[in-house]
């Protein structure tokens, strides 16, 4: 596979996200018995970063949980730009069941994920524990209800082809996850992807976590930081406001969308859980964390009426 230099930089953002998740897990922010297989780095991050990742992981998890409850597990999860995310393995340790779990990322990333899964029984065993057969290629892995595949999300023919290989069911309620992924995809490609999903699937929810309110000073600093690492932020025009975030879905054939900044998402986490993690590390002052929370958001879009009240805020 040939990659554009920007793609290399985008691929590297996964190492960063995985390092940060690993670090926060190690400090006790949340439980993840699997991320350690994918990451070796032990560098300690700032408390603000750890709390930011906590809110991110919790926010996405809250949406997934609501969806699984609503569908009683009669559903699919499709993780776009999955990186080394461990949700599949973590869910296997809960009572939640899903019909199919599909993960997509660039082949460079999925090859590393496949390799790590193949080498570790604790991971592979979660995929084939019901005597199911696991088929492996260097970049793709197929289990009875888990599929990890290398694909460029901008190439819809290839995405279609891969989803068929994963035995996707277009009629089954499906939750799409994209954690810090769409910002790297050219606006037009992203709209095409969202439109394509809206046309193909009958009932779906899309959970998107990424940057928002990028048109102020703090946003400039965040974007320059990413650009200095060589990432083209081709999708950044949708990260200007909560409105641009939701409009992108509404303009692409989705029935509706809601967005919350991470201040709101953090506030919707139970107070006992917030108190627990706030005791893990002291913050010098709350200003930086507040700025970070104001510049990330969670967007929930839905197709069809069944999932329009998948509301993460407690009121």
Residues that bind ligand SAM (CB under 6 A): 10-11, 13-14, 17, 81-83, 85, 105-106, 109, 152-154, 179-181, 184-185
Task: Give the integer Cα–Cα distance in Å for 115 and 139.
Answer: 8
Is residue 228 helix, strand or coil?
Answer: helix
How many degrees, rounded to 5, is the angle at CA 64 between CA 161 and CA 302? 65
Residues in the chain, total? 315
Of 228 and 272, CB closest to ligand SAM = 228
- Nearest approach in angstroms of CB 283 to ligand SAM is 23
Q: Measured from the CB of residue 248, what is the shortest distance to ligand SAM in angstroms?
A: 16
CA distances from 166 to 26, 55, 63, 147, 161 (A): 33, 31, 23, 6, 9
- Contact between 74 and 172 under an 8 Å Cβ cutoff? The reply is yes
What is the smallest separation between the CB atom of 107 and ligand SAM, expressed in angstroms?
9
Which CB, 127 or 181, lies closer to ligand SAM? 181
Contact 265, 55 (CB under 8 A): yes
| Residue tagged 């917030």 (tokens) | 274
CB of 205 to ligand SAM, least distance (A): 17
Minimum distance of ligand SAM from residue 270's CB (angstroms): 23
Phi first, then psi: give them for residue 37, nearest 5 degrees: -70, -25
Cβ distance to ligand SAM smaller for residue 14 or 174: 14
Cβ-based nearer residue to ligand SAM, 92 or 162: 162
Q: Where are the beta strands (DSSP E) in the chain?
A: 76-80, 100-105, 135-136, 141-142, 146-150, 174-179, 204-211, 256-261, 296-303
Cα 176 versus chain centre, distance: 8
Provide the minimum distance between the beta carbon of 222 and ligand SAM in the complex, in angstroms, as a whole number: 13
Q: How far is the CB of 81 from ligand SAM (least distance, A)?
A: 3
- Closer of 48 and 85 to ligand SAM (Cβ): 85
Residue 282 neighbours by CB under 8 Å, 6+ apart: 47
As to burial, measured by CB atoms within 10 angstroms (0-12 exposed, 13-18 middle, 19+ buried), residue 209 is buried
Nearest alpha-carbon partner for 102 in 53, 59, 50, 165: 165
CA 209 to CA 188: how far, in whole Å?
A: 19
Please state the closest distance from residue 142 (CB atom) to ligand SAM, in A. Answer: 18
Q: Which is nearer to ligand SAM, 109 or 203 (CB)?
A: 109
What are the tokens at 215?
């048109």
Would you report the helix, strand and coil content of the chain in percent, each value rounded to 5? 50, 15, 35
Q: How far is the CB of 148 from ligand SAM (least distance, A)?
A: 12
């Amino acid at each position: 596979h040939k990659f554009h230099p920007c793609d290399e930089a985008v691929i590297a953002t996964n190492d960063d996200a995985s390092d940060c998740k690993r670090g926060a897990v190690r400090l006790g922010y949340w439980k993840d018995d699997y991320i350690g297989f994918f990451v070796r780095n032990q560098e300690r991050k700032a408390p603000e970063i750890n709390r930011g990742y906590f809110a991110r992981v919790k926010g996405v998890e809250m949406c997934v949980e609501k969806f699984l409850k609503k569908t009683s597990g009669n559903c699919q999860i499709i993780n776009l730009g999955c990186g080394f995310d461990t949700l599949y393995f973590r869910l296997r340790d809960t009572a939640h069941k899903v019909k199919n779990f599909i993960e997509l990322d660039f082949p460079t990333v999925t090859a590393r994920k496949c390799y790590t899964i193949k080498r570790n029984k604790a991971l592979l065993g979660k995929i084939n524990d019901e005597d199911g057969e696991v088929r492996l290629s260097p970049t793709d892995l197929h289990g009875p209800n888990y599929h990890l595949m290398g694909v460029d999300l901008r190439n819809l023919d290839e995405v279609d082809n891969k989803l068929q290989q994963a035995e996707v069911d277009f009629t089954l309620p499906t939750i799409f996850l994209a954690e810090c992924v769409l910002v790297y995809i050219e606006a037009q490609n992203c709209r095409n992807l969202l439109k394509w999903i809206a046309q193909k699937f009958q009932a779906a929810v899309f959970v998107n976590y990424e940057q928002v309110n990028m048109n102020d000073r703090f946003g400039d600093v965040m974007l320059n930081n990413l650009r200095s690492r060589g990432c083209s932020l081709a999708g950044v025009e949708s990260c200007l406001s909560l409105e641009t975030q939701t409009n992108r879905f509404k303009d692409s054939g989705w029935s509706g969308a809601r967005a919350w900044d991470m201040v709101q998402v953090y506030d919707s986490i139970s107070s006992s859980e917030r108190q627990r993690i706030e005791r893990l590390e002291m913050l010098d002052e709350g200003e930086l964390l507040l700025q970070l929370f104001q510049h990330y958001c969670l967007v929930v879009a839905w197709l069809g009426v069944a999932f329009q009240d998948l509301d993460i805020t407690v009121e």
